[in-house]
Amino acid sequence: MKKYQAVLTILLTAVLFSAFKTPSPKASDGEKIFLKHADEALSAIEQKAGKLSIKGVAIVIFVPGDTVKAWTSKMKVVGLMKKGTSNLLGVASSKASEMADTYQDSGSGVRPPLKGEYGYKGGVIRKVNQGYIMAVFSGGSPDQDKEASTDGAELLAKYFDSK
């Protein structure tokens, strides 16, 4: 009798555990595309930065869907992460956070910057068929940063919009 109770307890525990176990999330098609080409986009930003003789930090981001609730990103230090008293990764992240809220290129001026944002120009956002692509560079002038970012965003966007 005790043997049957033990087996029954184990089976019941297994059933209950599986009922409450959250299935592991699967990467969306958009995320798969992003992950496949993110390094290539970072390289495009790095190449443009080299042509512009600037060093800094590059970030590329994929946001699935129509609203920012999560994102997948990759970052690369392109020569240096700090410049004087500036943390270029922090500046790049500020640009990305502004775009995540406004859906406009960073520094667009569509609203005053919120705490944590500084209105820095140089990040670009593109709507693609599976969500949004953002690319950011920080380390040059605002125009140079935007030029480098644009190369990365446009490269990524072509993989989404060609699908």
Q: What are the tens digits of pLDDT across the range 12-53? A: 334 333 433 444 445 689 999 999 999 999 999 999 999 999
The pTM score is: 0.83
Delimit the domains of the chain by residue range.
27-161
Q: What are the tens digits of pLDDT across the range 79-133? A: 999 999 999 999 999 999 999 999 999 999 999 999 999 999 999 999 999 999 9
Contact present, 152 and 135 (Cβ < 8 Å) = yes
Counting Cβ atoms within 10 Å, is residue 151 exposed (0-12), middle (13-18) or buried (19+)?
Answer: buried
Per DSSP, what are the bridge partners of residue 76? 58
Domain 27-161 belongs in CATH node 3.30.450.150: yes
